[in-house]
A and B are shown apart, each in its own frame.
Chain A
């Protein structure tokens, strides 16, 4: 067991057990904590490669734990939340969580999120970026090609795509996207985001209604995913 170390923080023993077995089987090393206090100590002593953090802990709010961890811990944190708790999810993402999973989650989804988070964010110094062997972004020329054909994007569409590409695999909240692409004064202008997402999908997706790249995260935001990238 020399795979990446994952710290599981959840107050329910059933969930800890389930996650330990699941992660062990997929060649991860696992440590588990049941309380916020334990979580902080174990994160400091073990320096895990990723933390799975339940947002509803008994002794302290998961949001607080998240803030404390983020003062020094820079590796990925994925939060576990219960259904219909979008506000908490958005808050956690704002507090520095990389991703979230809603209980009950499927094992395939869990492993995919963990792998994508550990793989990390692509270095920003690259000049070009190719996703799924077909979608190419040339950062120097500010040009985008799909299957070798130039895709004409407006400046805003291009900025949006680049932000997505540089955060591949990561969920970006509506507010974050609006702030980064349009500016702090636009965080409530969600209509722009909706229209530009639809427009961008028409240009880069093979099937705009069943997108492969820009996925909708209901009520939270969007996630850009690619099976392969170089």
Chain B
């Protein structure tokens, strides 16, 4: 978020101050020498305008000081090489002296004004950026209060019932209320986990701790963590034979797979199936999570990785954080994530993360 508002829209702004001076001086000298060969054709007064245009162009891109240097230099060059009595600074006619002085003033004013305009533009951009951030926070608060309050309301309501009406409730009612409390608290736990991950991403705190792992083991570990959610959903695992070990952050990769599988299992219809695939492409770990559900609406596919974005027709229960965490974590490891709909329906997420590989030959005694 913070990155975009510091960068000026102009690419030359990234030039170091030293480079800006050099480029300004060189462009004045270059334009002046070009004009020198043309001065017989166009006359020395036109040259003044050409030089002015050059200064204006420099002012559009560079800081104030290099622009002032260019302005002064161009005035001196014009005086020395172009105004009659060439190769002296002396100016013989009063008309030329006036021209020279005006040139000087126009060039300076030009330089100062252009930089001012750019400053104002920058401020306006920053303001817009701030407004966007504020909007994002409002979305966050709305989403948070809804997604946290729903399970909290369930817990408070259900416990109130159990405390004050215990003798009126049937055993079945009690059991149902208790299982609602249990579901709500697990949901709360998940939301808090998501928020923690999101704030780790936002603060730039994520530093991958890479270590060797077996991707087959990782996938089954994640499926085991999700066994309650996957009770009624068949999951196929297709891991390529003889995959190498990968050296990546186990926690980040397993959270990525966790979120993708959890996202699939909360969004697919009954009778749909989830498949998790893993393979190695050149020096990349490739993990694919696909389902046989309805897929994503084409016009929303770009947005699903945005923070707090939820599909227009989605059920409640999600924070709109899961997939943006996937994207953030994948990118923190210089990887890519891609979402497509399959022609026969269903969504397919493909993760590719560059990694060191290790093939250990077990026949060698270690």
Contacts and interface: CB of A to CB of B under 8 A. Distances in A.
Interface of A: 83-84, 86, 104, 154-156, 182, 190-192, 194-195, 197-199, 209-210, 216, 218-219
Given A182-B366, A198-B216, A86 B221 contact: no
B172 interface: no
Nearest to A174: B211
B360 A216 contact: no
Nearest to B356: A191
Interface of B is mostly: helix
A197 B217 contact: yes
A219 B211 CA distance: 9
A186 to B, nearest CB: 9
22 contacts: A83-B196, A84-B251, A104-B185, A104-B189, A155-B365, A182-B366, A190-B211, A190-B213, A192-B366, A194-B214, A194-B245, A195-B245, A195-B360, A195-B362, A198-B216, A199-B362, A209-B237, A216-B217, A216-B221, A218-B250, A218-B254, A219-B250
Contacts of A210: 220, 224
Contacts of A216: 217, 220-221
A155 B217 CA distance: 23
Interface residues of B, number: 24
Contacts of B360: 191-192, 195
B358 interface: yes
Q: Which 6 A-B pairs have the closest CB atoms?
A: A191-B212, A194-B214, A190-B212, A191-B358, A195-B360, A216-B221
Given A191-B245, A198-B216, 7 more contacts: A84-B251, A104-B185, A155-B365, A192-B360, A199-B362, A210-B220, A218-B225
Contact of A209 (B216, B245, B366): B216
Nearest to B366: A192
A109 B14 CA distance: 57
A182 B360 CA distance: 15
A191 B214 CA distance: 9
A51 B97 CA distance: 95
B208 interface: no
Nearest to B214: A194
A154 B363 CA distance: 10
Contacts of B193: 83
